[in-house]
């Protein structure tokens, strides 16, 4: 399986808009992890990052960004490496 890429400028714009909305609503950790994986989707996802991405996915749906929610779902389902709760692969 390949890591889900951000293929369109529209999706990039939606991710950035959602990130700003999350920051304005004081979801700082979720905004940071969303930005991190938008820049480097191939990076391993820790358990904490997974929790924050799941929260970001819920916020994407709540704030009417279904394409971003779908991208996060694909990212979580297709991550290239698994990281244990202890933070080692």
Number of structural domains (the chain) is 1
Residue 1 domain flag: no
Question: Is the CA virtual torsion 55, 61, 65, 66 positive or negative?
Answer: positive
* Domain housing 69: 9-77
Express each pLDDT in 32-79 by its tens digit: 999 999 998 888 889 999 999 999 999 999 999 999 999 999 999 976
Would residue 34 count as lying in a domain?
A: yes
Judged by phi (left if over 0) then psi (alpha if -120 to 50, else beta), residue 5 lies in beta
Q: Is residue 82 part of a domain?
A: no
Instruction: State the pTM of this model.
Output: 0.79
Asked if the structure places residue 87 within a domain, the reply is no
21 within domain boundaries: yes
């Amino acid at each position: 399986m390949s890591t889900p890429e951000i293929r369109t400028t529209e999706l990039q714009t939606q991710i950035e808009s959602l990130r700003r909305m999350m920051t304005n609503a004081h979801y700082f950790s979720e905004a940071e992890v969303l930005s991190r994986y938008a820049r480097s989707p191939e990076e391993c996802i820790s358990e904490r990052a997974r929790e924050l991405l799941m929260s970001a996915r819920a916020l994407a749906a709540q704030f009417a960004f279904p394409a971003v929610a779908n991208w996060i779902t694909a990212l979580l389902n297709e991550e290239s490496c698994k990281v244990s709760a202890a933070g080692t692969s």
